[in-house]
Amino acid sequence: MAVDAAGYSLKLGPRTRRRKLVNLVMQAIATLAALAAVAVLVLVIYSVARRGVAALSWDFFTKTAATFGQPGGGVANVLVGSIVIVAGATLMALPVGILVALYVSEFAPRRLANLVKLVLDILNGLPSIIIGIFVYGLLVIGSGQAAWKGSFALAIIMLPLISRATQEVLALVPSTLREGALALGASRWRTVVGVVLPTSIGGIVTGTVLAIARAAGETAPLLFTTSIAANAVTWDPRQPVLGIPFDIFVLSESPDPADHARAWALGFVLITFILVTSLTARILLARHRQKLEG
Amino acid sequence: MEADTMMDKVAPIEIAQPQEASKSAAGREVVFETRDLGVLYGKSPAVMGVSLSIYQNLVTAIIGPSGCGKSTFLRSLNRMNDLVSGARIDGEVLYHGQDIYSDGVDPVEVRRRIGMVFQKPNPFPKSIYDNVAWGLRVLGMKDNLDDRVERALTQAAIWDEVKDRLKKGAYGLSGGQQQRLCIARAIAVEPDVVLLDEPASALDPIATSKIEDLMHDLKNEYTLVIVTHNMQQAARVADMTAFFSLERTETGGHGLLVEYDETSKIFTQPTDKRTEGYVTGRFG
């Protein structure tokens, strides 16, 4: 008899057939789950765009709300309001966020650095309504609402985002560059300002843009801090102003169907802004990483 | 400025030169004197008990097998080990008689006088000009900035290659050019000593020989200490050579100084068996 060839068979037996089947099914389920995630985003964008685009007009961007029941009018005050609030928040969060990141990455002893990182993560996880109430208690009670108080609340949300993003790019800066600078007799601070920060600027910008995109969509922190405002365009951060997300809420509660259309349109504007900034930021970051990792 | 004494560009000094009076340590000022120097990372010593003197305007080479602590020793001479968390110093490093690890001494001031060139070229992500000018600006040497930059690049024998592209990024240079740029950056701030940590180990032979020629020129103005794992390189460039070896112990091992003498003696008549074994290629 020849040697039994079955022991070396490469064909599927009953057991391996079952294993192969399970593998296929699980792969299919995982793929479907991923498709579902993509579908949700596409559906949201599509439905907002379908209902929102119709209400977009020149007046929508340039005029303030018309008197109730009257045709026309727009949301110029709300668009400007969002710009004022978010710009103010960025001005507050950016320098502090970078300094915190520098402390953690460049100066702090490891244990303290880890502690600060943990605190930032917790801060990042705080419900934004809590931050809103905190700022309300701290700044608003007794003196009223103002755009800058809303900015302050948003800045608390942006701070951990900017700080963590900055830490990540600082970690990519090769330590040989720091050594090169220190070996010239530069102090740590000069090394950071002159070599480390310029090297990581691309990543810091990216992190900031992502934080801006996130903050622009926040509603809860603005509820108690800047939500009762006159129907007029103002760039003054000492005045209370309305932001886009909060106005979407107000408009969609209105009995006037034209306001509903404006709510959708505002939603479309906001979602477009967030999509464009997030995508740009990610492309920038990818380029920056490539450059650093060479 | 003393830097005006231009080096003799016409005749690069031959390698493997014979004995000359200028190579001897005798009568030269001592720049560094280490006394029973040890460096520990945490509890484990990287190098222990090093006592040697480094003389002015000579090239001193530190050679030895991997892990013998030669880089660690070098980095202890300008307090670069301070940057490593957990690094500790035993013994003394006297720089012109002052202990650089004593209380009142500022490591930033130490490094300003004792420059360093690293194993891998590490130019800043700036223009060629700004790579050299940055240190000058930081240290407030802003008068005649252009002249200082040109002089440093000339001394580092790279001026002719970069003079038409000073504003271009340093990352466009070849590895060998980047390393000479780093040397220019280090000498621009007019240090007293330049430490070189295997400066040619990442370079090809032609770039390496340029760096070696450069060291012959630079020692007229600076005191050079070079770590190298390349014995031929030590033989070619160094006046004095220190041989470090790895002492194995139960807990691992640490580096120690085995023998320190004129380069020609280390390579032709070493007194220690371990040195002889290393330089004749029997181990390491």
User: Tens of pLDDT along A63-104?
Assistant: 887 776 666 778 888 999 999 999 999 999 999 999 999 999
Which residues lie below 8 Å from residue A87, measured CB to CB, with a gap of 6+? A151
The pLDDT value given to residue B108: 92
How confident is residue A256, by pLDDT bands cut at 50, 70 and 90?
A: confident
Q: Given the cut 0.90, state whether the ipTM is greater than it.
A: no
Closest by Cβ to A184, choosing from B83, B123, B189: B189
Min CA distance, B235 vs chain A (Å)? Answer: 27
- % chain B with pLDDT above 70: 90
Domain span at B213: 26-116+191-279
CA distance A262 to A251: 7
Q: Is A294 on the interface with B (CB under 8 A)?
A: yes
- Put simply, the chain A residues between 170 and 189 with a CB less than 8 A from any chain B CB are 174, 176-187
The pLDDT value given to residue A11: 77
* Chain B positions touching chain A (beta carbons under 8 Å): 78, 80, 83, 85, 108-109, 111-113, 115-116, 118, 120, 122-126, 134-135, 138-139, 171, 182, 185-186, 189
Highest mean pLDDT among A153-167, A270-284, B59-73: A153-167
The pLDDT value given to residue A259: 86
Asked if residue A97 lies in contact with residue A105, where contact means CB atoms within 8 angstroms, the answer is no
The pLDDT value given to residue A265: 92
Contact A184 B186 (CB under 8 A): yes
The pLDDT value given to residue A98: 95
The pLDDT value given to residue B23: 59
The pLDDT tens digits for B175-184 are 999 999 999 9
Who has greater pLDDT, B128 or B1?
B128
Q: What are B45's two structure tokens?
A: 């010593």
Asked if residue B140 lies in contact with residue B134, where contact means CB atoms within 8 angstroms, the answer is no
- % chain A with pLDDT above 70: 95
Q: Which secondary-structure segment (H or E) carries B194?
A: strand B193-197
Nearest CA in chain A to B125: A199
Of A51-55, B8-12, B94-98, B244-248, the range with the lowest mean pLDDT is: B8-12
Q: Is A290 on the interface with B (CB under 8 A)?
A: no
The class (CATH top level) of A75-293 is mainly alpha
Mean pLDDT in chain B? 86
- Identify how many contiguous H helices and E strands chain B contains and give both numbers: 10, 10
CA distance A184 to A170: 21
Most B CBs within 10 Å, among A169, A184, A196, A199, to test the B interface: A184
Report the predicted TM-score, pTM, of the whole model to 2 decimal places: 0.79
Q: Cβ contacts (< 8 Å) between A182 and chain B: which residues? A: 80, 83, 108, 111
Of A232, A263, A228, nearest in space to A245 by CA: A263
Give the mean model confidence (pLDDT) for residues B93-111: 92
Asked if residue B283 lies in contact with residue B65, where contact means CB atoms within 8 angstroms, the answer is yes
CA distance A92 to A139: 15
Give the mean model confidence (pLDDT) for residues B97-117: 93
The pLDDT value given to residue A16: 82
B126 in a structural domain = no
Contact A186 B113 (CB under 8 A): no
Contact B122 A174 (CB under 8 A): yes
State yes or no: pLDDT of B2 exceeds 60. Answer: no
The pLDDT value given to residue B277: 87
CATH of the domain at B252: 3.40.50.300
The pLDDT value given to residue A6: 60
How confident is residue B111, by pLDDT bands cut at 50, 70 and 90?
A: very high
Contact A181 B124 (CB under 8 A): yes
B214 in a structural domain = yes
Q: Is A231 on the interface with B (CB under 8 A)?
A: no
B161 in a structural domain = no
Mean pLDDT in chain A? 89
CA distance A186 to A13: 70
| Number of domains chain B contains | 1
The pLDDT value given to residue B14: 42
B143 in a structural domain = no
State yes or no: pLDDT of B145 exceeds 80. Answer: yes
The pLDDT tens digits for B4-50 are 444 444 444 344 444 444 556 677 889 999 999 999 988 888 999 99
The pLDDT value given to residue B231: 87
Closest by Cβ to A194, choosing from B111, B116, B134: B134
The pLDDT tens digits for B194-253 are 999 999 888 888 888 888 998 988 999 999 999 998 888 999 999 999 999 988 887 778
B86 in a structural domain = yes
**Burial class for A14, CB neighbours closer than 10 Å (0-12, 13-18, 19+):** exposed
Closest by Cβ to A195, choosing from B124, B182, B189: B124
The pLDDT value given to residue A292: 63
Who has greater pLDDT, B17 or A162?
A162
- % chain B with pLDDT above 90: 56
Most A CBs within 10 Å, among B83, B122, B136, to test the A interface: B122
